[in-house]
Structure 1
Amino acid sequence: MTTTFLLVRHAAHDRVGNFLAGRTSDVPLGDAGRAQAKRLAARLAGEDIAAIYASPRRRTQETAAAIAAASAIAEVKIADALDEVDFGSWSGKTFEVLNTDPLWQQWNCRRSLVRTPGGETMLDVQHRVMAFVEALAARDRDKKIALVSHADVIRALICHVLGLSVDAWSRLEVGPASVSAVAAGDWGAKVLTVNADFT
């Protein structure tokens, strides 16, 4: 009995790579991101997805809505466990500004030990996303479920399944609108794909 999770990173917003969107809830997909989401949705339409869960952020909701429409799924369920890392006061800052912050440098070197200012550690993120996946795997056996989330949340989950420290995050590329996949069952879990570009 195996549950397959399609780990979808949201499609691109107009400032991907320029600023840390974090939990800034009103960041929408840009024109390129909407086109990405539409292509991704068309590719996933034949995957027999049973349910879609998404982070509360607008960019994930818009990506999930495109997948739901193409797959004839009536409802996208919001899951706080899939929310972006709580970056605290870093949310909304440009990477140019963040790169001058010594704590930001420490965070990117030792995420297992460093807490964001007023926010989470990567271990917090890993705990919440794994608890959610384990609960779904126990309940929704032999189904394929799409989880629309954020790069670092997906990295945290994959690191856990692979038995890696969260400090290995930078070894995993998780691009906008990419799909990674994990299978889970009573026997454990395994990574099927990482960062597949379906667009």
Structure 2
Amino acid sequence: MTTTFFLIRHAAHDNVGSYLAGRMAGVCLGEAGKAQAEQLGGRMARETIAAILCSPRERTQETAVPIALACGVGEIAIRAELDEIDFGDWSGKTFDELNGDASWRAWNDQRQEARTPSGETMLDVQERIVSLMNGVRELRQNQCVALISHADVIKAAVCKVLGLPVGDCFRFDIDPASITTIVSGDWGSKLLRLNEAA
């Protein structure tokens, strides 16, 4: 028995790529992002989605709503395991500002060992997303589940499935409003599609 996971990165917020949003409050989808979320709804309506789990961030919840409506899923479950990395003091800073910070450079150069200012590591992130997926698989056998999350969280899950060190997360992209499909069973997990556009 297997469970199919659709790992969906939230749609674009305004100024995506110019600053580190992290867990800041009030980071919502822009007009382009709202259009992407509607497209995701149309794409996911082709699947039989049994449940939708979502990060607590506004941008993920705004992405999840059109998917839930299109798929006829009445409730969106908010799960802390899907939350963005806790970047602590780095949140809200522009990437130009961060590039002058030695600890930020270490985070990107030594992703295997480095910690954010809050103390979270990529292995911590991987542990929480994989643990969630394992728990969901026990409850949702032979079903499809959508997980709405963030780029690095999805990358951590993909690295686990492919047996890659988490430091190899820079070797592939997870774009806004993309879908990454993983099938999980008693035999393990496999990646079916990576970074699919809606």
Offset of residue 154 of structure 1: 0.1
Share of identical aligned residues, percent? 53
Name the counterpart of 1:84: 84
* Partner AA of 1:10 in structure 2: H
Q: 1:162 — aligned with what?
A: 162
Match status 1:194 vs 2:194? yes
Could you say what secondary structure the match of 1:115 adopts? coil
Structural RMSD (CA): 0.7
Q: Counterpart of 1:54?
A: 54
Give the CA deviation at 1:25.
2.5
Match of 2:13 in 1: 13
Q: How many residues align?
A: 198
The structural deviation recorded for 1:118 is 2.0
Unaligned runs of 5+ in 1: none
> Does residue 1:120 correspond to 2:120, yes or no?
yes
Point out where structure 2 has 5 or more consecutive residues left out of the alignment.
none
Q: CA deviation at 1:156?
A: 0.2
Equivalence for 1:182: 182
Counterpart residue identity of residue 120, structure 1: E
Provide the C-alpha distance between the structure 1 equivalents of 2:103 and 2:125, rounded to a whole number of angstroms.
18
- 1:109 and 1:38 map into 2 onto residues whose CA distance is 36
TM-score normalised by the chain length of structure 1 = 0.98
What residue number does 2:69 align with? 69
Superposed displacement of residue 115, structure 1: 0.5
Q: Distance in 1 between matches of 2:178 and 2:77?
A: 20
Q: Distance in 1 between matches of 2:3 and 2:118?
A: 35
Rounded to whole Å, the distance in 1 between the matches of 2:127 and 2:172 is: 19
Deviation per CA, 1:72-131, whole angstroms, max 9, x where unpaired?
111100010000001111011110100100111111111110100123110100001100
Q: C-alpha distance in 1, partners of 2:6/2:118? A: 31
Work out the CA distance in 2 between the residues paired with 1:37 and 1:126: 25
Q: Take 2:180 and 2:39, find their aligned partners in 1: how far apart are those partners?
A: 16
Look up the match of 2:140. Answer: 140
What TM-score do the two structures reach when normalised by structure 2?
A: 0.99
Aligned to 2:34: 34
**Cα offsets for 1:150-171 (capped at 9, x unmatched):** 0000000000010000000101
Whole-Å Cα distance in 1 between the matches of residues 145 and 25 of structure 2? 24
